[in-house]
């Protein structure tokens, strides 16, 4: 498109806008992603204008047909936006003028670029929130499936990255289920604030034309309409909230990624990742790398950066609209794309992992992670917990020094630490018994995990 076309705001100026300044300020390479939302918002606005008698119905029909044709052109690649047109809104309006003539100018009656962009952004956010929620739901379904498959598989639970206590693997997967459940709750709560129409606020003060903002909101399936026209065009809280929610999701994914990376390493050897989701080394033939999990972990920092970008952009802006706000699109678009893509690919990766049950069974049987069971055994024999803790600590030291695992220590040796020990101590020194004995609410027992799985299915 030629830069000779007049920019939509240029009527007051006597000199053409400097070409380098136009290139610097052009956002069409970014905001072209909003073309569907822009056409959707314009269609609703024109429909409302005709219903209120501000433009003729025949003109509205002509404009809407033109907009539909332009959407097809943009979608097919027939119409290619160029930076000389400044932004996607100008691309669409200029093309509409080429198609239907001066009537195209009526599309902007009672509307400013400010409320137009704010509307497009909310429509985009609504779409991305729903897409992200759907991706998280699929992730939760995969987690429930994993929890069912491995409900009675025993793994180590960790604190401080040290083996702590044996737990059900199903319990582990459901911990992440609950993280992503909170993420979905945050998105649903955010949607209440996103789904409010700013259309009709105009530049920031409203309009002298008899607009019907409630009708525009209804046409766009918004739940409500703005209360204050200044806030309507200057609010970017919803973008910050969205990227914040994305940051939380990515943080959860990053933690999960770290577990998969560690567990699939030779040193841990608990988990196998399908070859379809691993890479090798260009130099070392033996390598099998958890690259997808590493990339997800890396993209977390990218989304965090977008959050800081938005907070920095907005921190010093006076009311109402300022051109700085144009820079909200790159962090918004990148966060949405990075997060949805990460959730989607991580779900596929997770679906292609298997726990190495034989190795886990051997390790959990021989490990010191049953020491807590010894302490609680002594508590059940009426020894105060602090004393039981000290006794157990000495037993652990003895186990390490002699190389005897806890089940291999003889009863006579146990009695040297406390006369309260009897042969039933060996019943407590089985991972399965340890897990089954934990009957408190939300615990890792197999029965508790079964209940949690049923609850999770209901919550999805």
pTM of the model: 0.90
147 in the same domain as 35: no
Asked whether 292 and 352 are in contact (CB, 8 A), the reply is no
CA-CA-CA-CA dihedral for 421, 423, 426, 432, to nearest 10: -110
104 in the same domain as 26: yes
Task: Tell whether 171 is covered by a domain.
Answer: yes
Last residue of a domain, one of 49, 76, 109: 109
* Alpha-carbon gap, residue 179 to 114, rounded angstroms: 37
Q: No. of H helices and E strands in the chain? A: 19, 6
φ, ψ of residue 272 in degrees (nearest 5): -115, 130
Within 8 A by CB and 6+ apart from 23, the residues are 83
Task: Tell whether 250 is covered by a domain.
Answer: yes
Give the active site residues.
160, 281
Asked whether 300 and 254 are in contact (CB, 8 A), the reply is yes
Supply the pLDDT for residue 3.
Answer: 42
272 in the same domain as 160: yes
User: Using the 8-state DSSP alphabet, how is residue 286 labeled?
Assistant: T
318 in the same domain as 247: yes
CATH number of the CATH domain containing 340: 1.20.200.10
The range of the structural domain enclosing residue 195 comes to 114-207+223-355
Number of domains in the chain: 3
Last residue of a domain, one of 355, 386, 406: 355
Supply the pLDDT for residue 288.
Answer: 86
Task: Tell whether 412 is covered by a domain.
Answer: yes
290 in the same domain as 143: yes
pLDDT mean for each 10 residues of the chain (460 residues): 52 68 72 92 98 97 97 93 80 94 95 95 98 98 98 95 93 98 98 98 96 98 97 96 98 97 95 90 82 96 97 94 90 97 97 96 87 92 95 95 93 95 91 89 94 95
85 in the same domain as 134: no
DSSP 85-121: G-SHHHHHHHHHHHHHGGGGGGGGTT--HHHHHHHHH
Task: Return the exposure string of 106-124: e unless at least 16 CB atoms fall within 10 Å of the residue's CB, then b.
Answer: bbbebbbbbbbbbbbbbbb
440 in the same domain as 342: no
326 in the same domain as 415: no
Closest by alpha carbon to 275, among 344, 349, 343?
349
CATH number of the CATH domain containing 82: 1.10.275.10
Supply the pLDDT for residue 2.
Answer: 40
Closest by alpha carbon to 272, among 285, 288, 257?
288
What distance separates the 2 farthest-apart alpha carbons in the chain? 101
Last residue of a domain, one of 109, 126, 156: 109
* Alpha-carbon gap, residue 343 to 139, rounded angstroms: 7
Supply the pLDDT for residue 30.
Answer: 73
Residue that has been written with the tokens 């807590």 in this structure:
372
418 in the same domain as 269: no
Task: Tell whether 39 is covered by a domain.
Answer: yes
Whole-angstrom CA distances from 413 to 328, 370, 402 are 68, 17, 12
* Alpha-carbon gap, residue 198 to 217, rounded angstroms: 8
302 in the same domain as 192: yes
Supply the pLDDT for residue 365.
Answer: 86
């Amino acid at each position: 498109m030629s830069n000779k076309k007049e920019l939509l705001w240029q009527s007051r100026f006597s000199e053409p806008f400097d070409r380098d300044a136009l290139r610097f300020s052009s956002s069409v390479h970014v905001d072209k992603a909003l073309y569907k939302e822009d056409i959707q918002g314009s269609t609703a606005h024109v429909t409302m204008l005709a219903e209120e008698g501000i433009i003729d119905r025949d003109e509205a029909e002509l404009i809407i047909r033109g907009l539909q044709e332009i959407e097809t052109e943009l979608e097919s690649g027939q119409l290619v936006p160029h930076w000389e047109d400044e932004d996607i809104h100008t691309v669409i309006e200029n093309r509409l003028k080429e198609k239907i003539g001066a009537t195209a100018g009526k599309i902007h009656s009672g509307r400013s670029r400010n409320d137009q962009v704010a509307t497009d952004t909310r429509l985009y956010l609504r779409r991305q929130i729903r897409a992200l929620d759907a991706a998280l739901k699929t992730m939760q379904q995969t987690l429930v499936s994993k929890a069912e498959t491995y409900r009675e598989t025993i793994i180590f639970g960790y604190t401080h990255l040290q083996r702590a206590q044996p737990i059900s693997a199903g319990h582990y997967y459901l911990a992440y289920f609950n993280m992503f459940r909170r993420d979905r709750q945050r998105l649903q709560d955010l949607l209440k604030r996103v789904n409010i129409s700013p259309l009709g606020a105009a530049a920031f003060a409203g309009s002298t034309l008899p607009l019907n903002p409630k009708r525009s909101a209804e046409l766009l399936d918004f739940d409500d309409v703005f209360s204050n026209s200044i806030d309507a065009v200057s609010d970017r809280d919803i973008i910050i909230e969205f990227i914040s929610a994305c940051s939380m999701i990515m943080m959860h994914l990053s933690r999960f990624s770290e577990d998969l990376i560690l567990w699939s390493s030779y040193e841990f050897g608990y988990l196998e990742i399908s070859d379809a989701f691993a890479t090798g080394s260009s130099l070392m033939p033996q390598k099998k790398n958890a690259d997808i999990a590493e990339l997800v972990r890396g993209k977390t920092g990218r989304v965090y950066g977008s959050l800081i970008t938005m907070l920095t952009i907005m921190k010093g802006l006076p009311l109402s609209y300022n051109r700085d706000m144009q820079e909200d699109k790159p962090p918004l678009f990148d966060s949405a794309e990075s997060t949805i893509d990460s959730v989607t690919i991580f779900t596929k990766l997770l679906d292609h992992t298997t726990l190495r049950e034989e190795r886990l069974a051997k390790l959990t049987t021989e490990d010191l992670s049953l020491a807590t069971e010894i302490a609680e055994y002594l508590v059940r024999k009426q020894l105060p917990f602090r004393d039981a803790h000290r006794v157990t600590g000495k037993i652990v030291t003895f186990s390490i020094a002699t190389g005897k695992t806890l089940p291999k220590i003889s009863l006579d040796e146990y009695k040297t630490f406390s006369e309260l020990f009897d042969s039933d101590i060996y019943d407590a020194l089985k991972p399965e018994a340890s897990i089954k004995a934990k009957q408190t609410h939300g615990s890792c027992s197999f029965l508790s995990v079964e209940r949690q799985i049923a609850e999770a299915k209901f919550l999805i």
